[in-house]
A and B are shown apart, each in its own frame.
Chain A
Amino acid sequence: MSYNSDSSVQEIQEVHIHRDDFGSKMGMWLFLFTEILLFGGLFILYAGYRFIYSEGFAAAATELDVLLGTINTVILLTSSLTVVLAIVALQKENKKLSLFFLWVTVICGLIFLVNKYFEWGAKFHHGVYPKGPALQNMSEGEVMYFGLYFVMTGLHGLHIVVGLIFIGYVMRQIQKDVITSSNFQKLENSGLYWHLVDIIWIFLFPLFYLIH
């Protein structure tokens, strides 16, 4: 008897592949909340040390390039827009346009990482890196600032890399017509992830670049 019911269940599954978009989306949001709390812990750490070392933080922040930070902000905001436009395009059954928008997102993400590479590279060149020679002549507050700067922008950069891989995977699935105008929750989920990474940058930018 139990064998029979098992096989009938299997048969049904073969005919009707179960899909739960709502559950998928909820899973993604729950994951995003753990991400918020992960970065949240670092933001609280930042707040605490900025409270203690407000002068050191202000002094260290002047060494960051506001223009480069602003450019990266614009790049990320634009990449977020193109993810949403890719979802709209797919909903309107325009697969090519959807893929085009996702390409723009990927290129924006890569430009962001290249800018970060030059930014970090310049810092390393001047001896500003964890335990670097330039930190020996800095106050405790400045050392704390750069420690948090590298950890937080580094973790954020890692999230950009993961987001790019996620979007790349989604693009392949769109190409293969696995993700379609009636089945695009995966695209939506990759978008949710990308927007969260964007939101984190929205806070990192003023907190690290715009202190005077």
Chain B
Amino acid sequence: MENNHHTEEQNDGHIAEAHHPSYGINILVWIGLLSLTAITVAVAGINLGSLALTVALVIALVKSMFVINFFMHLKFDNKVFKIFLGICMITFIVVMILTFFDLTFRI
């Protein structure tokens, strides 16, 4: 922190103007999220068999990417948060895969 003292003084450790605030883009994202909700409910009515779960999860993932990038501002934020999120998701997926190894190969 001592080394950063100069930059700290310049913006005082404050990040008030991270990006240009705008109502429009967020309302657009919200409309997108509502449309995806309508799609996932409509698709659930169709009998897709084993594909149904995959389709539902893909739509949920797209929705959460919208929320994370726009509502949570990750798109406009410091790269370190994206790296953190990546590590978190990889940890989750690894534990998930290991669990399924156990489930599938247990006799």
User: Chain A CB within 10 Å — which of B14, B63, B70, B71 has the most?
Assistant: B71
Distance A84 CA – B68 CA, assembled complex (angstroms): 12
Type the 1/0 row for B39-82, where 1 means its CB is closer than 8 Å to any CB of A: 01100110100001100110110011001101111000110110
B-contact 0/1 string along A188-212, CB 8 Å cutoff = 1001100110110011011100111
Tell whether, in the assembled complex, residue A51 and residue B14 are in contact, meaning their CB atoms are under 8 Å apart.
no
Does A51 lie within 8 Å of B52, measured CB to CB?
no
B contact residues around A73 at 8 Å (CB):
37
Whether B34 pairs with A74 at a CB distance below 8 angstroms is yes
Q: Which residues of B contact A81 (CB under 8 A)?
A: 26-27, 29-30, 71
CB of B107 within 8 Å of the partner chain: no
A22 touches B13 (CB 8 A): yes
Most B C-beta atoms less than 10 A away, residue of A47, A66, A77: A77
CA distance A44 to B68 in the complex (A): 21
Contact A199:B95 (CB < 8 A) given known A18-B13, A74-B34: no
Number of residues from A at the complex interface, CB < 8 A: 54
In angstroms, how far is the closest chain B Cβ from the Cβ of A140? 16
Residue A48 is within 8 A (CB to CB) of chain B in the complex: yes
CB of A91 within 8 Å of the partner chain: yes
Q: Which residue of A lies closest to B24 (CB)?
A: A88
Q: Which residue of A lies closest to B20 (CB)?
A: A91
Contact residues, A138-192 vs B (CB, 8 A): 181-185, 188, 191-192
By secondary structure, the A interface counts as helix
Closest approach, in angstroms, between the C-beta of A137 and any C-beta of chain B?
A: 26
Q: For the side of the interface on B, what is the size category?
A: 35 or more
Question: From B30, which residue of chain A is reached at the shortest CB distance?
Answer: A81
Minimum C-beta distance from A57 to chain B (A): 10
Assembly CA distance A21 to B81 (angstroms) = 14
Q: Quick one: which of B45, B60, B99 contacts A202, CB cutoff 8 A?
A: B60
* Residue among B37, B57, B80 with most chain A CB within 10 A: B37
A70 touches B41 (CB 8 A): yes
List the A side residues contacting B15 at CB < 8 Å: 21-22, 25, 185
Would you give the shortest CB distance from A93 to chain B, in whole angstroms?
11
Please tell me if B105 contacts chain A, counting CB pairs below 8 Å.
no
Comparing A28-36, A112-120, A126-134, the segment that makes contact with chain B is: A28-36
Q: CB-nearest residue of chain B relative to A81?
A: B30
Residues of B within 8 A of A (CB): 12-17, 21-23, 26-27, 29-30, 33-34, 37, 40-41, 44-45, 47, 52-53, 56-57, 59-60, 63-64, 67-68, 70-73, 77-78, 80-81, 84-85, 88, 91-92, 95-96, 99-100, 103
- Show 14 A/B contacts (Cβ-Cβ < 8 Å), sorted by A: A19-B14, A20-B13, A21-B13, A25-B15, A33-B88, A78-B30, A81-B71, A83-B71, A85-B26, A182-B16, A191-B72, A202-B63, A206-B56, A207-B56
